[in-house]
Amino acid sequence: MSSDRHSNFERVLSKKDITALAFGAMIGWGWVVLTGEWIRMAGALGAMIAFVLGGIVVLFVGLTYAELTSAMPKCGGEHVFSHRALGTNASFICTWAIILGYVSVVSFEAVALPTVVEYLFPSYLKGYMYTIAAHDVYLSWVLVGAISSIAITVVNYFGVKPAAFLQGVVTILILCIGIALFGGALFNGKVENMQPLFVNGRSGIFAVMVMTPFMYVGFDVIPQAAEEINVPFKTIGKIIIMSVVMAVGWYLMMIYSTSRALPINQISSSGLATADAMGAIFNSSLASKIVILGGIGGILTSWNSFFVGGSRAIYAMAESNMLPSFLAKLHPKYKTPVNAILLIGVISTFAPLLGRSMLVWLGNAGALGIVISYLMVSISFLVLRKKEPEMPRPYKVKNGIVVGSIAVILCLGMTLMYLPGGPASLVWPYEWVMVLSWIILGVGFYGWAKFTNAKTKSEEAMKIEKSHKYKRRASDIMTSE
C-alpha cells in the first residue's frame, strides 16, 4: 500500500468527533421503529437479554478492533488488518463484506427517511408509481429519499470535518430525547406494564439477538477514518470500547422505557411503539412527534457515519489494486475520496425506487456481511498475535488469545444463524439475490483491477525495455565511432 496517497489525509477529527461518529452510527433509528417489534418477539426482559448477548459478541470483537486500530492506524480498517494477517485474497473478502454492510446501511437510511416522514405527514404520499412486495411506491416518497441522499453525499464530498460537526449536533439531540423518554418512564411508567417479561422463550431471545449486529455496527467506522483522527492511538482503542458500551446501554434504556410506558397489547397494536410510549408518558401527541424527530436524527447520524466508513474502505481497496484505480482518487482541496463517495451516493439515491420492503432486505443482507467481516478481523487479531508478537500495540488487550478466540467462536456462531436452516436464514430470492449480486460485482471489480494493474505493469516493463534498447543502441553507435 502506498503511503504517499495516505499522507494526503488531514488529521482533523477530535475525540468528540469520533465518539459522535461511532455512537451516532450505532444507535441509528432502529430504536424508534423496531423497539416494539423486539418486545413483541421476546418480551421486555427477553429483548434486553438479547441485546446484552449481542452486545457481548460485539464487545469481544470491539476489543480486537481496539488493539488492531491502535497498532495500524491506517485508512481502511478491516482492509489493513486482514491484509497484513491473511493476505490479499482474504483481505478482499473481509473488506468487501463490510462494505456490503456499510452500503446496506446507507441505502437503508435512504428508504428509512421517507418512511419516518410518512408517520409525521401521512398525506404527503403523492404520485403512485408501482407496488413492490405489497408496498406501494409513490413519487413524493422516492423524492424525499433521493434528495436526502444527494444532500448527505454533498456534505461528505466537502470534507470529513463538516460531516463530523453535523454528526455531533444531531447525536446530542438524540441523547436529549432518549433521556427524556427514560426519565418519563421511570416516574410515570408502570412496572406491571412490562409483563410478560418473556415471549417465545429462547427462540424469542435468539430471534432478536440475530438482529443486533445490524443495530450495533458503527464502532468499526473509527478504524476506517483512522488517518483523519487527531488523538493518541491508545485513546482510539478506548473510544471504540466506550462507544460499544454506550450503545448497549442505549438499547437497554429504550426497551426498558417503552415496555414500562405501554402494556404489551398496546405495543403490539402500535405502528411506532417508542413514539407512542413518549406520548403516553407525557400525555402529549407533540411528545410522540419529538421522538420521531429523534428517529430522523438517528437516520442522519447513521447515514453520515457509514458514508464515511464505506467510502474510506472502498478508497483503501482501490489504493491496494483490489478495486479500479479511479476509486482511489482524493479531492485535491477537501482531501476526501470523492469517487468512492459518489459511488455510494449513486447507489443510495436509487435505493428508494425499490420501496419500503428494502428496509428488511437490506438489514438482513447487510448483517451477514458485517458478521463475516467481524469473523475475519477476529481471526486476523489471533494471527498477528502469533505472527508479529513484537508489533507495537499502544492499546493491548489483556489475555488477547482468549479474547480473540472467544470473538472468533461467537462470530462463527452468528454467521451460521444467517445460513439456510439457521434461525435467521436469509430470505430467497430478495436477500440472497442482494448478497449474490454483491459477490458478482466484487469479483468483477477485482478482476478489472487485476487486469488493468497487470496491463499497466506490462506497459511499464515495455517502456523500460525500450529505454534499455535505446541506451544500448546509443552505446553501440558511440563505440563504433
β-pair partners for 229:
13
**Model confidence at 183, in pLDDT bands (50, 70, 90)?**
very high
Contact 230, 11 (CB under 8 A): yes
Residue 230: all three cell numbers together: 487527531
Region 223-232: what's the mean pLDDT?
A: 83
Cα–Cα distance between 471 and 481 in angstroms, integer?
15
Place of cell 450505532: 26
Over residues 52-62, the pLDDT tens digits come to: 999 999 999 99
What is the C-alpha to C-alpha distance for residues 21 and 243, in angstroms, rounded to an integer? Answer: 9
Residue 464: pLDDT band by 50, 70, 90 thresholds? low
Domains of the chain: 3-437 (1.20.1740.10)
Position 46 scores a pLDDT of 96
Confidence check: pLDDT of 214 > 70: yes
Burial of 322 (0-12, 13-18, 19+ CB in 10 A): buried
CA distance 49 to 461: 61
State what percent of residues in the chain have pLDDT above 90: 44
Residue 409: per-residue pLDDT = 96
Query: 352 and 104 in contact (C-beta within 8 Å)?
Result: no
Residue 117 banded pLDDT, cuts 50, 70, 90 = confident
Tell me the C-alpha distance between 31 and 52, whole Å: 15
Q: Cα(255)–Cα(34) distance, rounded to whole angstroms?
A: 10
| pLDDT tops 80 at residue 203 | yes
